[in-house]
């Protein structure tokens, strides 16, 4: 990456994060609504800690930390970096204040601006990793804010709704024949000109059997039909762990849905609104997605099937975030669409590709150590920043998670 490009890239990413946080008060930014979520204030600080630690501290001679005691607060999961505040305790940080955190960001930004022209190619690669890391946290910032605001009885909107939805009936599903035989998936080797996280490679061969993928995601209308047909009450549709989770949690609809006098509604970053039948369903767990697929006489695609199909489409074509606004899935389009709206659960476990090797040092803890007990999601969501999507991108969550914008596309065997 050229120095000028690196400076512009860094500044653009950092500005979007702060734009997203502008509507929040100090109280909004401090609360932690559940252990899986983090306060907005913590996200803002952690992203700066990443740049300060792995670039300024490690690659700029004489750099002095902004606060020597803050790495304990804002390290996330890097064991190599020493002890840290427990994740579930992040919401106890009434101080430093939001203003203090924004001052910290400004100081790190100023130091990065002074240093960036002297950075080595190795350090510049870490700048891009840090920008990609911050883009991941931009999405987490939004989904964590959504969860926190959903627990407020006032159901306040973060942003006003932009425009009015145009409800309609989704187009019938078209089944697309996928390739079969030996194919290649995964990110190409470093130096190909595009960024990829380490877990996206190495590129390797995979065997595909005859299969078809739906040309679009499952919609709210189809999910309502699943519910009306007793989908949440029929144990034969569910995996054993999923059925136990559904019973324990009392789940009977997607997350944020509520049934009222005027029908089903969903809570969004612009407040509560009626369900749009044509929009892709989201905020469903892997367990729910798998049960729906069984009900529909189909299955979830493998990540190899998904990637080969998605590689033929433009990642910039989805409803992706490029600034504050009304973040919600939009109605599906007539043409096949693989990026944006909602992440798509696959049936593939999050495990290393053949030949995977984690990087040395703390950076090696970024992805590899989480390759256990989680499932892969593909495609990005309406809260994913523009330019952050690619066909090889592997997101991953535990099967019960659903506070992210998570949906599904169906697959089936045969041609």
Report pLDDT digits (tens) over 339-369. Answer: 989 999 999 999 999 999 998 888 998 999 9
Q: Is 138 exposed, middle or buried (0-12, 13-18, 19+ CB in 10 A)?
A: buried
- What is residue 337's predicted lDDT score, i.e. its pLDDT? 87
- What is residue 318's predicted lDDT score, i.e. its pLDDT? 52
* CA–CA distance, 177 with 197 (Å, rounded to integer): 29
- Classified as helix, coil or strand, 335 is coil
Q: What is the DSSP letter of 234?
A: -
* CA–CA distance, 261 with 368 (Å, rounded to integer): 47
Domain-wise residue ranges, the chain: 3-150, 175-413
- What is residue 192's predicted lDDT score, i.e. its pLDDT? 55
Give alpha helix (H) positions in 189-239: 220-228
* Residue stretches of the chain with pLDDT short of 50: none
Integer distance in angstroms from the first to the last C-alpha of the chain? 44
* The pairing of beta strand 406-407 with beta strand 343-349: parallel
User: What pTM was estimated for this model as a whole?
Assistant: 0.95
Q: Determine the topology of domain 175-413 in CATH.
A: 3.90.1580
Q: What are phi and psi of 87, to 5 degrees?
A: -55, -45
- What is residue 402's predicted lDDT score, i.e. its pLDDT? 97
* CA–CA distance, 192 with 125 (Å, rounded to integer): 13
User: Which of 351, 329, 350 lies closest to 340 in space, CA to CA?
Assistant: 329
- What is residue 317's predicted lDDT score, i.e. its pLDDT? 55
- What is residue 200's predicted lDDT score, i.e. its pLDDT? 96
- Describe the crossing of helices 3-21 and 121-150 by its angle, rounded to 10 degrees: 10
Q: 378 with 310: CB under 8 angstroms?
A: yes
Check the CA dihedral 292-149-339-137 and report its sign: negative
* CA–CA distance, 179 with 202 (Å, rounded to integer): 21
The secondary structure of 263-298, three-state, reads EEEEEECCEEEECCCCCECCCCCHHHHHHHHHHCCC
- What is residue 411's predicted lDDT score, i.e. its pLDDT? 98
Q: 177 with 165: CB under 8 angstroms?
A: no
What is the tens place of the pLDDT at every residue in 238-273?
999 999 999 999 999 999 999 999 899 999 999 999
Residue 272's DSSP bridge partners are: 267
Q: 345 with 375: CB under 8 angstroms?
A: yes
- Distance (Å) of CA 138 to CA 18, 322, 343: 9, 11, 15
- What is residue 136's predicted lDDT score, i.e. its pLDDT? 97
């Amino acid at each position: 990456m050229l120095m000028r490009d690196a400076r512009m890239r860094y500044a653009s990413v950092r500005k979007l994060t702060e734009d997203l946080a502008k509507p929040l008060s100090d109280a909004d930014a401090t609360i932690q609504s559940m252990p899986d979520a983090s306060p907005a204030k913590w996200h803002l600080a952690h992203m700066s800690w990443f740049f300060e630690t792995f670039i300024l501290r490690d690659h700029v001679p004489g750099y002095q930390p902004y606060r020597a005691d803050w790495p304990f607060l804002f390290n996330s999961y890097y064991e190599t970096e020493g002890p840290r505040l427990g994740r579930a305790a992040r919401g106890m940080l009434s101080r430093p204040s939001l203003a203090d955190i924004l001052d910290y960001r400004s100081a790190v930004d100023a130091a990065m601006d002074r240093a960036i022209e002297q950075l080595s190619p190795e350090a510049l690669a870490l700048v891009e990793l840090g920008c990609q890391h911050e883009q991941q946290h931009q999405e987490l910032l939004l989904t964590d804010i959504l969860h926190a605001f959903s627990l407020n009885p006032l159901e306040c909107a973060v942003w006003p709704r932009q425009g009015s939805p145009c409800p309609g009936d989704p187009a019938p599903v078209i089944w697309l024949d996928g390739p079969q035989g030996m194919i290649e998936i995964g990110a190409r080797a470093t130096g190909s000109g595009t960024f990829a996280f380490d877990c996206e490679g190495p590129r390797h061969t995979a065997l595909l059997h005859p299969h078809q993928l739906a040309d679009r995601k499952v919609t709210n209308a189809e999910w309502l039909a699943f519910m009306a047909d007793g989908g949440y009450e029929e144990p034969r549709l569910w995996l054993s762990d999923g059925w136990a989770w559904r019973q324990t949690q009392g789940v009977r609809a997607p997350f944020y849905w509520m049934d009222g006098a005027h029908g089903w509604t969903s809570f969004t970053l612009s407040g509560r609104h009626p369900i749009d039948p044509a929009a892709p369903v989201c905020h469903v767990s892997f367990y729910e997605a798998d049960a729906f697929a069984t009900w529909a006489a189909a299955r979830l695609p493998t990540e190899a099937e998904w990637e080969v199909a998605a590689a033929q489409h433009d990642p910039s074509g989805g409803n992706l975030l490029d600034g504050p606004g009304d973040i919600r899935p939009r109605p599906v389009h007539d043409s096949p669409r693989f990026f944006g709206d909602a992440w798509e659960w696959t049936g593939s476990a999050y495990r290393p590709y053949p030949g995977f090797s984690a990087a040395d040092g703390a950076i090696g803890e970024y992805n590899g150590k989480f390759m256990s007990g989680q499932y892969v999601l593909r495609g990005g969501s309406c809260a994913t920043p523009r330019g952050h999507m690619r066909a090889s991108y592997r997101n991953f969550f535990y099967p019960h998670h659903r506070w992210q914008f998570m949906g599904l596309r169906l697959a089936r065997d045969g041609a």
